[in-house]
Amino acid sequence: MITRQNIYNCKSILLFLYAYSIINARHYILIICGLSNLYSRKLIKLPTPKFIVFYNGREPQPERREYRLSDAYKTKTKDISLELVVTQLNINQGFNDELMEKCPDLFQYMQYVLKIREYNKEMPLEAAVTRTVDECINEGILREFLLQNKAEVVSMSIFEYDAELHMKMEREEAFEDGHAKGLEQGEMKKLITQICRKKQKSKTPEVIAEELEEDLEQVKRIYDVADEFAPEYDEEKIYEELMTK
């Protein structure tokens, strides 16, 4: 079984498991229906599985890597009752050259993707895809396939690259949000430490707020919570308590 993905996603192993289960369930039922004895002891042979993912996304990936279903198990054991291995092959330019030489269609597909990415740097996605399709037809790259399915290819390529861009932006936004929250957390803990040190010197909230140039209500809030953790004034515990109020 072979699939392709332009977004790094180890969950594809679950899709393979589901697909293989469905296919072999049908295979098993068809064979059983052909047997005179429904409870025959005869071993039913199944197709030998091989699971391959062709990866051509923008996120850097090695030339070859494996995913194992057992990596997702909550409890790790030496005796694995069910295993499924998926091999991911990077088909971006510069990877798996031997495979590309043996499979001209795959090599031409890589050229197609590369052209879209290059043109998309200087023009909108739809224009980049349309230009790439026309150019590939003229240059004999996937020519017959593109001639027969031009409209569908253009539509699907735009959809896939929009999805790839959307997920890339989501990851970047999540990173930025996490970074911002980290800064906020760090600043709050720093303020807690400063207030606790001044509190230990018997300074009032009003004096501390003036010295630190902080909002008096904020200082009072931290000051009061810190009382619960005197005399150690554990910064982490004070912070956690503040976050629950």
What is the spatial distance between Cα 48 and Cα 23, in angstroms, rounded to a whole number?
Answer: 12
The torsion angles phi and psi of 134, rounded to 5 degrees, stand at -60, -40
Please, are residues 108 and 142 in contact by the beta-carbon 8 Å criterion? Answer: yes
Whole-number pLDDT of residue 25: 67
pLDDT of res. 243: 77
pLDDT score, position 104: 92
Determine the straight-line distance between the first and last CA of the chain, rounded to whole angstroms.
Answer: 53
Give 132's pLDDT tier (boundaries 50, 70, 90).
very high
Mean pLDDT of 37-61: 76
Q: Is the pLDDT of residue 170 over 80?
A: no
Q: What is the pLDDT of residue 26?
A: 63
- Looking at the chain, the whole-number percentage of residues with pLDDT higher than 90 is 25
Ranges 42-56, 78-92, 98-112: which has the least confidence = 42-56
AA identity, residue 217: E
pLDDT score at 169: 57
Q: Mean pLDDT in the chain?
A: 81
Q: Residue 2's beta-bridge partner residues?
A: 52
Cα 146 to Cα 144: distance, rounded to the nearest angstrom: 5
Res 8 pLDDT > 70: no
Strand pairing class (2-5; 85-90): unpaired
**Whole-number pLDDT of residue 142:** 92
Query: Quick one: tokens of 192?
Result: 């807690």
Per DSSP, helices labelled H in 73-142 are: 97-102, 104-120, 125-139
The amino acid sitting at 2 is I
pLDDT tier, 165 (very low <50, low <70, confident <90, very high otherwise): low
CA distance 223 to 228: 9
More confident residue, 119 or 170: 119
Report, as an integer, the average pLDDT of 69-83: 84
List the single range of 11-15, 77-81, 142-146, 163-167 with lowest mean pLDDT. Answer: 163-167
pLDDT at 205: 92
What residues have CB less than 8 Å from 75, skipping those under 6 apart? none
In this structure, the number of other CB atoms found within 10 A of the CB of residue 116 comes to 20
Tell whether the model's pLDDT for residue 16 goes beyond 80: no
Nearest by Cα to 134 from 119, 124, 122: 119
Give the separation between CA 28 and CA 32, rounded to whole angstroms: 6
Cα 26 to Cα 2: distance, rounded to the nearest angstrom: 19
